[in-house]
Amino acid sequence: MIRRCLVVALAAAALGCQAAPVPEIADGGPIVGVKIYDTERDLRELFADWRELGVDTVFAGEELASREGFRAMAGETGTDLFVIFPVFFAPEELAEDPDLWAVTADGERAKEDWVEFACPSRADFRNRRIEEAREIVRRLQPDGLSIDFIRDFVFWEMVAPDRDPGAIPETCYCAHCLRLFADRVGVDMDLWA
């Protein structure tokens, strides 16, 4: 059931782009997946409905994938399970350590609606996230890990195709990143004040 190759296609048509080809796996069959974070439904009925619709892969949030019976039902129905792992979207860590926030060029926290981003240059944070990902894989033994939010800050769901790229927030301008930049290029930070 473990797939050697997974190609994830974005809904390019929704963005006004030319449609992308249907992704295929190593054995040549199409991948039909669903992304889900929570459900109140009976798992047996849910997976049966998915199979009836041709869904063979589920991308589930960690909490749902950890729910008793979820992994077993995926295996029983031949549905590949990928656990969604958001890398720089980390609201819990940001609440605990406000210094982790990514900062926009306007000096604001990298937050729009529910999207909240940590600074991508913090080695300790990245190392913790890597260990969290390893622990999820050890504990849940999914068919794969769906790496999400591994990019600079942008609430891309709200970026229209005709949006001026200059209107998209730039990050990261936190004190840590500014110090790194100044050290690498040999600029005196006091001159920026």
Contact 145, 137 (CB under 8 A): yes
* The two three-digit tokens of residue 82, written as one number: 């990928």
Query: d(Cα 19, Cα 25) in Å, to the nearest integer?
Result: 19
Residues 109/103, Cβ–Cβ less than 8 Å: yes
Q: What is the pLDDT of residue 167?
A: 83
Q: What is the pLDDT of residues 18-32, one digit of tens each?
A: 445 555 556 667 889
Least confident among 58-62, 89-93, 95-99, 168-172:
168-172
For the segment 159-182, the average pLDDT, to the nearest whole number, is: 89
Model pLDDT, residue 5? 31
Q: Is residue 15 scored above 80 in pLDDT?
A: no
What mean pLDDT is predicted for residues 77-95? Answer: 96
Q: Flag whether pLDDT at 14 surpasses 50.
A: no
Provide the 10 A C-beta neighbour count for residue 28: 6
The answer on pLDDT for 57 being more than 60 is yes
Average pLDDT over the chain, rounded to whole? Answer: 85
Supply the DSSP string of the chain, one letter for each residue: ---S---PPP-GGGGTSPPPPPPB-TTSPBP-EEEES---S-HHHHHHHHHHHT--EEEEEHHHHHSTTHHHHHHHTT-EEEEEEESSB-HHHHHH-GGGB-BBTTS-BSEETTEEBB-TT-HHHHHHHHHHHHHHHHHH--SEEEEES-SSS--GGG--TT--GGGSPPB--SHHHHHHHHHHHT--GGGG-
Instruction: For tokens 């981003």, name the residue.
Output: 117
